[in-house]
Homo-oligomer: A and B are copies of this chain.
């Protein structure tokens, strides 16, 4: 990789200057006042990709445009699809910014600007990683597609539609996403799993209207008492979820995964201190990180009913309700959870109560096998660039677009974030480490070579 190394060294300053150029465009997707800036940013990205010899299309959507680019097709080589976004979060409160959000400023080895790490700086690492190959070697070792959208911060509805309509154009062997953080400073990470989710709302109705709890209490079923009983029955004393069959489809954590999670430099005491508690209960037999990333949960998200004001009101409420959600792991299906849940709650529903269970959104978990050749390729690419092997992490939350890629394209997703947890994503003084920016470019250039050694699927 001497020619590549040489190219990266020679162009390091220019990469930063290019990033600053993009960061000066105030592409705030949430605010219609910035509509022109959205087009300016999309055009900038399109021009940059076009200048590398990729075919580029600015795809109009119901919202902001998607930039879609493809490298000249090389048969027999695997295809990687790079996903990222050129839109940024709003910048209020402005007075908390040390330097203006759209005037990129270097301080202490970081570049400060809105979008520096989320996601302009990170997505450009892959553009520059591709550029190095094209300029220094004349061609890419793999086929590359870029999908860079302008609605990540506002729900990605245009991209979801594009995926639904044009999955064939996006066909690939793996999806590469750099839009997150490392495990810590100098600790690069590959996130190989995301939990799924199943959300529900439960509504219970008793009497036709609120009753006096003295006159009627004891003789009329109280929907709030019933609600507490039903919700408490969802989880047992050992933190196990009691919906019948809930664990039937759960893929157990492998010994290797548990060893890897246990080996992470995770400071539990510090973790609890950060959220303001001194300890926690959870599913018996699992560590905090396992509970957080790799085990299913049942969390009540909201509850209401009766009198919520000051003092006492001796009312027997007519209605009560709650919202709750399950985080799912492979291979649980939200629809199966919903069916078993409804049957369980219906069996518990006593005389005098009418029950309504609303199934809200749900999506299954995503898990890229640790022994996937793409994950292994990414690990080597990252280790070579960062000088340290990445740790393998999972995320407790869901990222809908990752699931959409997974389900629409049937391609493993490589979540390799170059940021840090303290990058102030979505907050004032967003930053990106310039060292990580350059390591990211290097890792990207490495990644294309590593992926080229894997036989193409199609």
Show the binding face of A for B, using Cβ within 8 Å.
195, 197, 199, 201, 206-209, 211-222, 224-225, 227-229, 231-233, 235, 271-272, 275-283, 288-289, 291-292, 295-309, 311-317, 320, 323, 325, 327, 350-352, 360-361, 395-398
Contacts and interface: CB of A to CB of B under 8 A. Distances in A.
Contacts of A279: 221, 351-352
Contacts of A197: 214, 314
Given A206-B277, A301-B306, A351-B278, A325 B213 contact: yes
A297 to B, nearest CB: 4
B303 A314 contact: no
B214 A396 contact: yes
How many chain copies does the complex carry?
Answer: 2
B325 A292 contact: no
Nearest first, the 3 closest Cβ-Cβ pairs linking A and B are A214-B397, A208-B276, A279-B351
Contact of A312 (B233, B300, B360): B360
Contacts of A299: 213, 217-218, 222, 224-225, 314, 316
Contact of A220 (B220, B232, B233, B280): B280
A291 B218 contact: yes
A281 B221 contact: yes
Given A280-B221, A297-B218, A301-B314, A232 B235 contact: no
A250 B456 CA distance: 78
Contacts of A282: 218-219, 221
Contacts of A308: 302-304, 323
A214 B327 contact: yes
Given A197-B314, A207-B277, A214 B398 contact: yes
Contact of A219 (B288, B305, B312): B288
Contacts of A228: 227-228, 231-232, 300, 303
Given A300-B225, A301-B306, A214 B195 contact: yes
A345 B214 CA distance: 24
B288 A312 contact: no
A323 B195 CA distance: 35
Contact of A351 (B235, B281, B361): B281
B302 A303 contact: no
A368 B299 CA distance: 49
Given A211-B275, A312-B325, A224 B300 contact: yes
Contacts of A211: 275
Contact of A306 (B225, B302, B327): B302
A213 to B, nearest CB: 5
A2 B289 CA distance: 91
Contacts of A300: 222, 224-225, 228, 305-306, 317
B397 A212 contact: yes
A400 B82 CA distance: 72
A197 to B, nearest CB: 7
Contacts of A280: 219-221, 350-352
A283 B228 CA distance: 17
A280 B353 CA distance: 8
A307 B312 contact: no
A125 B288 CA distance: 73
Contacts of A213: 297, 299, 301, 325, 327
Nearest to A210: B301
A366 to B, nearest CB: 12
16 contacts: A197-B314, A215-B292, A217-B292, A221-B279, A221-B281, A224-B303, A279-B351, A281-B351, A281-B352, A300-B305, A301-B312, A301-B314, A301-B316, A302-B305, A312-B323, A312-B325
